[in-house]
Structure 1
Amino acid sequence: MGAVMAAEAPVHATEETWAFPPADGWTFDQVKDLDLPFDWELVDGKIVVRGQPSVWHNRVRRKLANALDLAVTEPHTVDDETCVMLDPHNVRKPDVIVYDPTGLSLLETGCVPVAHLALAVEVVSPGSRSDDRILKPALFAQAKVPYYWRVERTREDRAVVHEYWLNAETRSYFPAPPHPVHREKLATDHPYPVQLDLTELTAGL
């Protein structure tokens, strides 16, 4: 009797099979067309559910993206809640990104390749502290994203921005030397000149 042929790996994930990835994990091409009732990221080939952000988180993310967009200089562009492909098995969705769209067809691009990023911004939530403070900066640094901002919520519900620069040799971030922590005002020249009144991010909350 001939050997039993191994079952072929699924070509695409479906709404019924997304939770059961093949041995090598899903790739973005296999899951990009899924219509799932929740927001998700692809982590080591597995679909991971993203938590529901608070009103504070959404307000800060949106206003910060708007401020970066108003100050943007060519060739950069700004988006929020846009997926970034680290590799085919890892797709993350930073709160805000600044990137160079040169060579990308934005109407057809399902995910921004990480090599195009100039800045990744994460607004920390109770359910994402370890990811935003440890894991994601390590991933973006390994991918050579030049700048990373982490936005923390103070006890007074204000927004504080921690600015990091990339050490290209070690592929790790270090606190920005001039002003590593921005509390009421943010002023930086990286990835382009930006000045922002941080108190405006939470005005009205």
Structure 2
Amino acid sequence: MGAAMIAHRQQANAENWMFPPSGGWTSSQVKGLDLPFDWELVDGVIVARGQTKFWHNDVRDGLLEALKAQRVQPLKVTAEQCVLVDEYNTPKPDIIVFDPTGLDYFELECIPLDKLSLIVEVVSPGSRQDDRVRKPALFAAHKVPCYWRVELDRDQKLAVHEYWLNADTLAYFPAPMHPVHHDKLVTRLPFPIEIDLNELLGF
């Protein structure tokens, strides 16, 4: 029992982060971990987030600005903030929209999943499987109402795949009016939004 308790209390640090305990790291064990790269906790394992290209970050920032400009109270919009799925999973979506009601502004680290209204992932070569399969399944299972997957098509134009949650099956389905947005994104969830996608690309 003593060894188990020591393992449970073990904190991740710069020397041991790649060697999780038998049950995996928990969010409390990796809290405050400072590493020379961006990372997230996936099934108890600390996973490095890959380098992204300029277009990915520029599109993410453009979407962030547009969502912030059009948001309705009390919703907030932020980027690269961890969300608390459970003690073994704290992913960092590219963008989230959430309701901050009841949250502590100065102490908040990971956003509780039940506060989220929308998750946006901009797909890069290293994140295709995660953004197309694993993360949508994870977020739908935890009742996040809306999910956008943003990709470059073959003509290097943006395509935004919009998904809504089926509350009965806990799975996403394509938004009925515009499942894929080209040129302009227009939707009513999680609030009325209109974004010129072509303006987000290019210097």
Find the aligned partners of 1:58 and 1:178 in 2 and give their Cα distance: 28
Instruction: Compute the RMSD of aligned alpha carbons.
Output: 1.3
User: For residue 124 of structure 1, what is the aligned residue in structure 2?
Assistant: 123
Find the aligned partners of 2:102 and 2:2 in 1 and give their Cα distance: 43
Paired-residue identity, %: 58
Count the aligned residue pairs. 201
User: For residue 194 of structure 1, what is the aligned residue in structure 2?
Assistant: 193
The equivalences for 1:97-176 within 5 A come to 97-176=96-175
TM-score with structure 1 setting the length: 0.95
Higher Rg of the two aligned structures: 1
Runs of 4+ in structure 1 off by over 2 angstroms are: 4-8
Q: 2:3 aligns with which of 2, 6, 19?
A: 6
The AA in structure 2 aligned to 1:176 is: A
The answer as to whether partners of 1:60 and 1:159 remain within 8 angstroms in 2 is no
Cα drift, residue 203 of structure 1: 3.1
Local SS of the residue matching 1:161:
strand
Unaligned runs of 5+ in 2: none
The equivalences for 1:12-161 within 5 A come to 12-161=11-160
Local SS of the residue matching 1:160:
strand
Cα drift, residue 110 of structure 1: 1.1
Cα drift, residue 153 of structure 1: 0.6
Unaligned runs of 5+ in 1: none
The AA in structure 2 aligned to 1:21 is: P
Cα drift, residue 6 of structure 1: 3.5
The AA in structure 1 aligned to 2:78 is: D
Cα drift, residue 11 of structure 1: 2.7
Cα drift, residue 27 of structure 1: 1.0
Cα drift, residue 156 of structure 1: 2.5
The AA in structure 2 aligned to 1:78 is: V
> How far does the alpha carbon of each residue in 1:22-65 deviate from its partner, in whole angstroms, 9 at most, with x for none?
11111111112111011111011110111011101000000001
Change (3 A) 1:156 1:21: same
Find the aligned partners of 1:125 and 1:77 in 2 and give their Cα distance: 25
Find the aligned partners of 1:95 and 1:157 in 2 and give their Cα distance: 20
Cα drift, residue 5 of structure 1: 5.9
